[in-house]
C-alpha cells in the first residue's frame, strides 16, 4: 500500500510547516482505507486572500504525480473545505465542484461547491432541496468523506478519504450585502438557523419596520443544486414603510448558526433614494 500524506487541521495552516506537533490530525491517502479521525474545529480556511507563501508551491518542472488533498477542515455544520496540491478541473466528468464525487456517511449528501481563485480550494455545501429538510452535521458526531473521480489540470485523479469529528463553537459574522429603497440583504459567513427567536431593531428606536426572511438560495426558499448559492447565508429584510434615504442602523440580537452560536451586532444600512421615471 502506498504511503499517504499526513494532514493536520488547526488554525487553517499546514502544520507540516510548523516546528511543533499538534494533537489533532487527519490522514489522507490515495488508497481506500479507514483514516484516523480528527477533531475538525472551526479555523480560518486557506484561501487566495492569504499570502501565497502559506500554500505549497506547484512543481515548476512539470506535472505533479498525484492529486492530493493537502488541507481539510470543517468551517461549520453545513460545509466542507478541501485544498488540493494543484489547480483542479471545473468541467466535465471530473469537476471538483460536483457534489456527486464526495460520498459522506450519516445519511448526508454533498451538494455543489465553489472554487477559490487559485483553483486549489473547493468549499462544498451539504445538499439542501427545501427549507424543512435542510441537512447539517451534528456537533460531536464522527463522519467519513470519500473523494472519487475529481482531477487536477494535469489529468491526475484524486481518490482519497478523511474522517473527522464535527464541531463549531465560533459565532458567524454578518455584513450588509446589498440594499435598495424597499429591501436589503444581510449575508452571514456560514449557514444560519431559522431566526424565529432573533430580534431586529431599527435605528435603535424600536422593532424593524418590516419582515425578515432566511433565504435558502439566491433569493428563493429552495437551494439551487446546480451551483453554490450560499444556502441559508442570506437574510432578506423587506421594509413595509418608506424610509428616509441615507444611513440607518440595524441591531441584530440572538441570531444563531446551526450549532447555536449566537451573534449580536449593529450594522449600518444605507437606503438609496427611490428611482422615479
| Whether residue 90 sits in one domain with residue 39 | yes
pLDDT the model gives residue 81: 95
| Whether residue 183 sits in one domain with residue 156 | no
DSSP letters spanning 92-111: GGG-TT-GGGEEESTT--EE
| Per-residue pLDDT tens digits for 157-207 | 998 999 999 999 999 999 998 888 889 999 998 888 888 889 999 997 788
| Whether residue 147 sits in one domain with residue 83 | yes
The C-alpha cell that represents 35 in the structure block: 483514516
Which one has a higher pLDDT value, 182 or 219? 182
> Measured between alpha carbons, how far is residue 181 from residues 178, 204, 215, 274 in Å?
11, 20, 19, 6
Last residue of a domain, one of 132, 149, 166: 166
In the predicted model, is pLDDT for residue 93 greater than 90?
yes
Which one has a higher pLDDT value, 24 or 250? 250
Q: Provide the number of structural domains found in the chain.
A: 2
Q: Looking at residues 231-235, what average pLDDT do you find?
A: 83
pLDDT the model gives residue 61: 47
pLDDT the model gives residue 186: 93
Q: Residue 21's pLDDT band (boundaries 50, 70, 90)?
A: very low
Average pLDDT for the chain = 75
86 touches 75 (CB < 8 A)? no
Q: Residue 10's pLDDT band (boundaries 50, 70, 90)?
A: very low
pLDDT the model gives residue 129: 57
The least confident of 44-48, 126-130, 135-139, 156-160 is 44-48
CA dihedral (51, 177, 245, 210) positive or negative: negative
Q: What percentage of the chain reaches a pLDDT higher than 90?
A: 44
Q: Residue 135's pLDDT band (boundaries 50, 70, 90)?
A: confident
Which CATH number covers residue 243? Answer: 2.60.40.1220
pLDDT the model gives residue 190: 87
pLDDT the model gives residue 67: 78
**Dihedral angle, C-alpha 183, 197, 41, 45, nearest 10 °:** 0
| Whether residue 151 sits in one domain with residue 72 | yes
In the predicted model, is pLDDT for residue 141 greater than 80?
yes
| Per-residue pLDDT tens digits for 40-76 | 333 333 333 333 333 344 444 455 567 789 999 899 9
In the predicted model, is pLDDT for residue 33 greater than 90?
no
In the predicted model, is pLDDT for residue 12 greater than 60?
no
| Whether residue 212 sits in one domain with residue 160 | no
What's the CA gap between 45 and 42, in Å, rounded? 9
The reply to whether 144 falls in a domain is yes
Count Cβ neighbours within 10 Å for each residue of 227-237 and write b for 16 or more, e otherwise: ebbbbbbbbbb
| Whether residue 152 sits in one domain with residue 21 | yes
In the predicted model, is pLDDT for residue 1 greater than 70?
no
| Whether residue 225 sits in one domain with residue 251 | yes
Q: Residue 121's pLDDT band (boundaries 50, 70, 90)?
A: very high
Domain that holds residue 79: 5-166
Amino acid at each position: 500500500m502506498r504511503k499517504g500524506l499526513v494532514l493536520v487541521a488547526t488554525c487553517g495552516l499546514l502544520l507540516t510547516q510548523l516546528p511543533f506537533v499538534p494533537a489533532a490530525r487527519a490522514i489522507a491517502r490515495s488508497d481506500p482505507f479507514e483514516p484516523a479521525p480528527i477533531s475538525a474545529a472551526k479555523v480560518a480556511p486557506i484561501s487566495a486572500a492569504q499570502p501565497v507563501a502559506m500554500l505549497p508551491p506547484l512543481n515548476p518542472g512539470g506535472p505533479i504525480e498525484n492529486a492530493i488533498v493537502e488541507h481539510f477542515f470543517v468551517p461549520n455544520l453545513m460545509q466542507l473545505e478541501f485544498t488540493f496540491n494543484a489547480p483542479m478541473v471545473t468541467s466535465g466528468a471530473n469537476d471538483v465542484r460536483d457534489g456527486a464525487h464526495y460520498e459522506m456517511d450519516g445519511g448526508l449528501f454533498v451538494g455543489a461547491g465553489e472554487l477559490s481563485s487559485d483553483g486549489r480550494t473547493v468549499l462544498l455545501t451539504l445538499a439542501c432541496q427545501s427549507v424543512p429538510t435542510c441537512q447539517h452535521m451534528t456537533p460531536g458526531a464522527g463522519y467519513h468523506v470519500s473523494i472519487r473521480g475529481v482531477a487536477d489540470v494535469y489529468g491526475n485523479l484524486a481518490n482519497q478519504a478523511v474522517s473527522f469529528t464535527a464541531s463549531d463553537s465560533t459565532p458567524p459574522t454578518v455584513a450588509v450585502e446589498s440594499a435598495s429603497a424597499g429591501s436589503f440583504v444581510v449575508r452571514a459567513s456560514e449557514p444560519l438557523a431559522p431566526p424565529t427567536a432573533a430580534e431586529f431593531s431599527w435605528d435603535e428606536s424600536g422593532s424593524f419596520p418590516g419582515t425578515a426572511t432566511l433565504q435558502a438560495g439566491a433569493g428563493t426558499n429552495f437551494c439551487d443544486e446546480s451551483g453554490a448559492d450560499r444556502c441559508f447565508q442570506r437574510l432578506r429584510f423587506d421594509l413595509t414603510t418608506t424610509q428616509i434615504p441615507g444611513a440607518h442602523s440595524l441591531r441584530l440580537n440572538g441570531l444563531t448558526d446551526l450549532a447555536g452560536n449566537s451573534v449580536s451586532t449593529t450594522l449600518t444600512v444605507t437606503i438609496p433614494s427611490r428611482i422615479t421615471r
